[in-house]
Amino acid sequence: MRPLIVGNWKMNLGESAAKELVRRLLAALPFDRVDAAVAPSFPCLRAVLDGVAGTPLAVGAQNMHWEAKGAFTGEVSPHVLFEMGVRFVIVGHSERRALFGETDTAVSSKVVAAQRHGLSPIVCVGENEIERELGRTREVIVAQIQAAFADGALTTPDDLVVAYEPVWAIGTGRTPQPGEVTRAHVAIREALGERFGLPAEAVRILYGGSVTAENARVLLQATEVEGALVGGASLTADSFASIAAAATSC
Active site residues: 93, 165
CB closer to ligand PGA out of 6 and 79: 6
Closest approach of Cβ 53 to ligand PGA, in Å? 26
Report in angstroms how near the CB of residue 123 gets to ligand PGA at its nearest. Answer: 12
Which CB sits closer to ligand PGA, 77 or 119? 119
Least distance CB 121 / ligand PGA (angstroms): 14
Q: Give the binding site for ligand PGA (CB under 6 A).
A: 8, 165, 170-171, 208-211, 229-233
Nearer to ligand PGA, 78 or 209 (CB): 209
Cβ–Cβ < 8 Å for 216, 178: no
Q: Which is nearer to ligand PGA, 171 or 197 (CB)?
A: 171
User: Closest residue (Cβ) to ligand PGA?
Assistant: 231
CB 219 within 8 A of CB 178: yes
Residue (of 250, 138, 136) closest to 187 by Cα position: 138
* Cα–Cα distance measured from residue 91 to residue 42, given in angstroms and rounded to the nearest whole number: 15
Nearer to ligand PGA, 60 or 232 (CB): 232
Nearest-approach distance from CB 39 to ligand PGA, in angstroms: 9
CB of 241 to ligand PGA, least distance (A): 15
